[in-house]
Structure 1
Amino acid sequence: MVQSLNFSSLASIGKIVRSPSLLIPHLSVPDIRYINFMALKAAGIRAVVFDKDNTITAPYVEQVHPTFAKSWESCKDTFGQDRLLIVSNSAGTPDDVGHKKAATVEAALGIPVLRHTLKKPAGGDALSSYFGCPSHCIAVVGDRAFTDIVYGNLNGMLTVHVTKIVTEEGDNKIAALIRKLEYPLVNWLRQRGLSPPHHPAFEKHNPQDFVLES
C-alpha cells in the first residue's frame, strides 16, 4: 500500500515552531517491552492508542513482532481490547482502499483500527469521544515525534516515544528519513531544557515509575 503525502504533518510545522515542546514525549523507551502498563492504568490512564509500523509490527506487516508478543498480551490483559486502538497513517486512512488493510490488521492484532481521514498529527481531538473519557486519560505510543508525539501532545494525552525501531526494511522512505532527523532534534531540545507539556500523571509520579527494567 502506497502512502500519500501527509499534509497534516506539513501543516503542523507552524505549531511546532511556536511550541517546540510538542515534540518532547513524556516517556522515552526503547520499545513497548519497557512500558509498565499496569502503572499507567493505576495512574489514571484508561485507554492506549498505538501507532503500528515500527511500534508493534514491522513496516506494513499485520502481525505483532515476535519480540513484543508477551508485552502486547500484557497490555491487552491490563486495559482490555476495547480500550486499545491502532491509529495508523496507512491502515484505516483513505490510502487504505475499502479499509481492507485495517480489517486484516484488526484480525491479526485483536484490537480496532481507527478509520480516519486526517492523518496524524491531526485528528487527535476525536479520541476523547471515541473512548468516552478525558484526553488526559489516554496514552499515545509511537516511534515518530512529528506525528505520534505531536498528535498526543496537541490534545493533552500522555505520550510515549519508542526509540528503537523494528526494522527499516520495507519502511516508507520519507518516514525513515524524517525519523533520522527527529531523534537528534528531540535530544537537542531536551538539552536546552525543554520539557513535554504538562500532564496530571506526573503530579504524583516521575517518568521512571512507568518504565520497566530490561
Structure 2
Amino acid sequence: MVQSLNLSGIANAFRVLFNPSLAMPHIIVDDIRQINFRDLKKRANIKAIGFDKDNCLTAPYVSTIYPPFKEAWKECVETFSKENVIIVSNSAGTKDDKDYKEAQRLEESLGVAVLRHDEKKPSGGQFLEERLAPIPADQVAFAGDRILTDVLFGNRNGNLTIWTRKVITEEGDNKVALALRRVEYKLIDLLQRFNVKPPVHKSFSSIKKEG
C-alpha cells in the first residue's frame, strides 16, 4: 500500500515552532518492551492505549507483530483488555487503505481494533476520542516512533505520550519518513539541551513524583 502525502503532518509541524513542548514525549523508551503497562494502569490511571503501527509494533507495511515484541504485546492487551487497545496508523485504516483491507488484516493478526480515520496524524484526534469514549483523553496513552506525527498527535489531544525511539527496521520504509526521522532525532536532542518539558499531564506528574 502506498501512502499519500501527509499534508496535515507538514502543516501541523509548524505548531512546534510556537510551542516546542508539543514535540516532547512524556516517556521515552527504546521499544514497547520497556513500557510498564501495569504501572501505567495502576499508578498513572491510564485506561486505554493507542499505538502507531509501522516501526512501533511491526516492520513497515507488515501486518504481523515484530516477533521479539510478542510477549510485551500480549501483556499490553491483557492489562488494558483488547477493547481499550487500538492501532492508529497513517496507512491502515485511512483513505489510502482501499476497502480497509489492510486494517482488517491487522485486526485479525494483532487482535485489536484499527481506527478508521479520514485525517492523518497529527490531525484526527477526534476520531480516537470518539472511538474510546467515555474514557477521557488524559486517561489515554499514545505510543509511536515518530515525533512529528505520533508524539505531536498525542500531545495535541491531551494523551500521555510515549516515544519508541529505536525503529524495527528502515528497510521498506518510505523515503520521506526516513528523512524526517533523522530530523526528529536532532530536534529531540535540541529540546533536551534547552530543557524543554512535555505538556503538563497529571498522570505523568504522579509517576514522576512517585518514581
Please report the TM-score for the alignment, with normalisation by the length of structure 2: 0.96
Counterpart for residue 64 of structure 1: 65
Aligned length: 209
The alpha carbon displacement at 1:129 in A equals 2.5
CA contact (8 A) 1:27 1:207 kept: no
Tell me the residue number matched to 2:189. Answer: 187
Asked if residue 45 in structure 1 is aligned to residue 78 in structure 2, the reply is: no
Secondary structure of the equivalent of 1:204? helix
- Alpha carbons of 1:138 and 1:207: their partners in 2 closer, same or farther (altered >3 Å)? farther
Query: C-alpha separation between the residues in 2 aligned to 1:13 and 1:87?
Result: 18
Q: Which amino acid aligns with 2:149?
A: T
1:10 is aligned to 2:10: yes
Alignment of 1:1-214 (within 5 A): 1-42=1-42, 43-132=44-133, 133-206=135-208, 209=211
Residue 11 of structure 1 deviates from its aligned partner by: 1.4
Q: Compute the displacement of 1:128 (Å).
A: 2.5
Taking structure 1 as the reference length, the TM-score comes to 0.95
Letter in 2 for 1:147: T
Structure 1 gap ranges (5+): 210-214
Identity fraction in percent? 46
In structure 2, give the amino acid aligned to 1:28: I
Unaligned ranges ≥5, structure 2? none
Contact 2:160 2:204 in 1 (8 A): no
Counterpart of 1:212? none
- Superposed CA RMSD in Å reads 1.2
Encode CA deviations 1:150-200: one digit per residue, 9 max, x unaligned: 000001100000011000111111111100110111111111010000011
The one-character-per-residue Cα deviations of 1:118-152 (angstroms, maximum 9, x if unpaired) are: 00000113323321211000000000000000000
Query: Contact between 1:93 and 1:99, CA under 8 Å: does it hold in 2?
Result: yes
Letter in structure 2 aligned against 1:19: N
Residue identity opposite 2:151 in structure 1? I
